[in-house]
Amino acid sequence: MILLVIGSMAACITIAGAGIFVFMNRKPEIYNGYAEKGTDISSVITGGAVSEKPHMEESVEPAPENIISDIYFIRDGKTEFKSIEHKATPQDLFYLWKNMNFIGDDVQFISVKIESDASVTESEVDGQGVATYHIGRHYVYNLTITKDIENYYSVCDRNLLLETLKKTMLDTVEMRIDDYNLILTEG
């Protein structure tokens, strides 16, 4: 009988210990897209601060997956590439390219926007509003970085450097891109 009681107590302690372990190692609770007040969710989402009060226009995005991309760089006047695992964000890809090409911190990533000729038309059918999405046929990849990149044109071939940037940034795009624009802006 005593062994049965000891066995039952050991099972209860094990279950309680497992519950405490799970609670202590849980991910932050997210309800309807908002984290508990004061929760550090930097490992769960990318960017943005957590509001004390949720607003409808805010959203919580999942952390980006890791992917493997070819990072193009210049060595001895020739283009080479190395496959590197990284977070699936254009910022990470850009900073890997910068590091492989010895580009300084003065050159900063601003944004990536993919534009298309897609459109939405609104109409009315039986008194109900209907929106129709028309798939785009022409896609333009716009990369915006600081114009400080121009400081590196004298260090290596300008065209080769910009070509490695283009190849690197387009490597992860899983759609047909018709045009690529590099937009330089003040930092």
pLDDT value of residue 167? 96
Please state the domain count of the chain.
2
Produce one character per residue of 145-155: b if its CB has 16 or more CB atoms within 10 Å, e if not: bbebbeebeee
Quick check: 142 and 181 in contact, CB under 8 A?
Answer: yes
Residues 89 and 181 in one domain: yes
Q: Do 119 and 84 share a structural domain?
A: yes
**pTM listed for this prediction:** 0.61
pLDDT, position 61: 66
- Note whether 90 and 145 are same-domain residues: yes
Q: How far is CA 68 from CA 65, 85, 88, 164, 166, in A?
A: 10, 4, 8, 17, 17
Range(s) of the domain holding residue 90: 66-185
What pLDDT score does 139 carry? 93
143-175: per-residue pLDDT in tens? 999 999 999 999 889 999 999 999 999 988 888
**Residues 21 and 45 occupy one common structural domain:** yes
Say yes or no: 95 and 142 in one domain. yes
Same domain? For 15 and 84 the reply is no
